[in-house]
Amino acid sequence: MAEEVILLDTWVSPFGMRARIALAEKGIKHEHREEDLGNKSDLLLKMNPIHKTIPVLIHNGKPVCESNNIVQYLDEVWPDKSPLLPSDPYLRGQARFWADFVDRKVFDAGRKVWATKGEEQKSLMEEFIGHLKTLEAELDGKLYFGGEKMGYVDVTMVPIYSWFHAYEVSGNFSFESHCPKLVAWAERCMQHDSVSKALPSPEKVYQYVLQLRKRLGIE
Amino acid sequence: MAEVVLLDFWGSPFGMRARIALAEKGVKYEYKEEHLLTGKKTPLLLETNPVHKKIPVLIHNGKPISESLVIVQYIEDAWSDTAPLLPADPYGRSQARFWADFVDKKIYDQGKKIWANKAGEVQEAGKKELIESLKLLEGELGEKPFFGGETIGYVDVALVPFYTWFYSFETIGNFSIQAECPKLIEWVKRCLERESVSKSLVDPEKVYVDLILVLKKMYGYE
């Protein structure tokens, strides 16, 4: 039977990028559909009635929601090419722990930065950088979080790299000076087509952020 | 150190998840209480979970795993030959992970709006949101005896510990979860018939008196 794989997504979403990278790593043919979050499609609302967010993977008509969940699902259905989670239970546990850290700490702090300004924003930026340093320490000389090859944590984390330029311009600092090893890791990931094609241009993301902050009435 | 150690706190729904999973798999372990209400964390906790400094932490042959759902999945992987908590098919697994993640995203925070506030807007919002979330979960349960189907599974383990905090929510918020979500309470009772659950869950009234009221005083949530 022919596999039908559709990804509902938006170009700027780091969560969507995770799914894009995993699909590309595994060479899975799929249809990519761009959603307008200001005018959500009937399909999106039907496939993700609970959260109404992207990304949503629709595999042979059945939806899988939540980006990390999608990545794990792809890894289980297409295990042979580019396995993302290790087979050893302890290492799997560690990978899940760090993917959860990326979600609940890194991405969460990163997101809140855009909704604030002044002292509050400065303090959130510091928190964000603190979490990046924790991750950098976990990398600990490895090429990737997955070891010799990119793995689950790499896929979960690297999308935020497309937003680094926006953070640097807004906050007037450089990530290189705070976490050079993490920046080097991100650039290493960007050598992979699966990553460089999934991430939008940093300048485009920065323009998006400027519009977002205008819409939120912050600037 | 024993082969399997669980650093935990008696009243934590997150700790209870690990307790249930270990019991389901018949794993013998040493339970170590962290006395969180004293404000002091043991060196062992700080050493085994330096990132979050929180319980539960499972230590298996000296190697630590943190975050309750990560722990439950680890227990599932490490003792894979008995009492599977996740279905074998990838789609079923993704559904289980989705709903456990839903529980994680909603229940604790919505419950906290109720117990950590006086009667008012925030508490009312918490009550409304919690009931909405529980009704969605009831919908997902449908006619099945458990979220896992015929026996308890990952979502059952993720959710049922919060039952021990329902009495506190209801008493402080002056409402009845049973009245709004009777099918969910029936599901709780079915879960409690399993020893793995009844031995892992603590008395809801003890949670109210010895934990929630104490926390309210400690943090000035009155």
Same domain, B61 and B101: no
Same domain, B98 and B206: yes
CB-CB neighbors (< 8 A) of A59 in chain B: 91
Same domain, B68 and B33: yes
B71 touches chain A (CB under 8 A): yes
Instruction: Count Cα atoms within 13 angstroms, Cβ side, for A190.
Output: 14
| Residue B42's CATH number | 3.40.30.10
Secondary structure element (H or E) that encloses residue A64, with its range: strand A62-65
Tell me which of B78, B111, B138 is where a domain ends. B78
ipTM of the complex model: 0.95
pLDDT in tens, B13-44: 999 999 999 999 999 999 999 999 999 999 99
Cβ pair A89:B78 closer than 8 A: yes
CA-nearest residue to A79 within chain B is: B90
A58 - beta bridge partners? A6, A63
Tell me which of B46, B78, B110 is where a domain ends. B78
pTM: 0.96
Structural domain total, chain B: 2
CA distances from B133 to A42, B103, B215 (A): 22, 8, 24
pLDDT in tens, A126-165: 999 999 999 999 999 999 999 999 999 999 999 999 999 9
The residue among B47, B69, B48, B42 whose CA lies nearest residue B60 is B48
**What would you report as the CA-atom Rg of chain A, rounded to the nearest whole angstrom?**
17
**pLDDT tier at A172, thresholds 50, 70, 90:** confident
Same domain, B34 and B126: no
A59 - beta bridge partners? A5, A62
pLDDT at site B67:
98
**Backbone dihedral region of A52: left (phi > 0), alpha (psi from -120 to 50 degrees) or beta?**
left
Q: Are strands B4-8 and B30-33 parallel, antiparallel or unpaired?
A: parallel
Same domain, B32 and B124: no
Is residue B208 situated within a structural domain?
Answer: yes
The residue among A13, A51, A45 whose CA lies nearest residue A32 is A13
| Residue B210's CATH number | 1.20.1050.10
Cβ pair A90:B90 closer than 8 A: no
Same domain, B74 and B94: no
The beta-carbon neighbor of B101 closest among A59, A66, A73 is: A66
Is residue B84 situated within a structural domain?
Answer: no
The beta-carbon neighbor of B70 closest among A64, A76, A96 is: A96
pLDDT at site A1:
55
Q: How many Å apart are CA B183 and CA B181, to the nearest integer?
A: 6
Is residue B85 situated within a structural domain?
Answer: no
CA distances from B26 to B23, B75, B154 (A): 5, 11, 16
B64 - beta bridge partners? B59
Same domain, B129 and B168: yes
Is residue B83 situated within a structural domain?
Answer: no
**Strands in chain B per DSSP E:** 4-8, 30-33, 57-60, 63-66
Same domain, B106 and B199: yes
Q: Is B21 helix (H, G, I), strand (E, B) or coil?
A: helix
pLDDT in tens, B139-185: 999 999 999 999 999 999 999 999 999 999 999 999 999 999 999 99
Is residue B14 situated within a structural domain?
Answer: yes
CA-nearest residue to A71 within chain B is: B94
pLDDT in tens, A53-103: 999 999 999 999 999 999 999 999 999 999 999 999 999 999 999 999 999
What values do phi and psi take at A6, rounded to 5? -120, 140
Q: Are strands B63-66 and B57-60 parallel, antiparallel or unpaired?
A: antiparallel
Domain that holds residue B154: 90-218
Q: How many Å apart are CA A104 and CA A150, to the nearest integer?
A: 21
pLDDT at site B7:
98
What are A189's two structure tokens? 């990931």
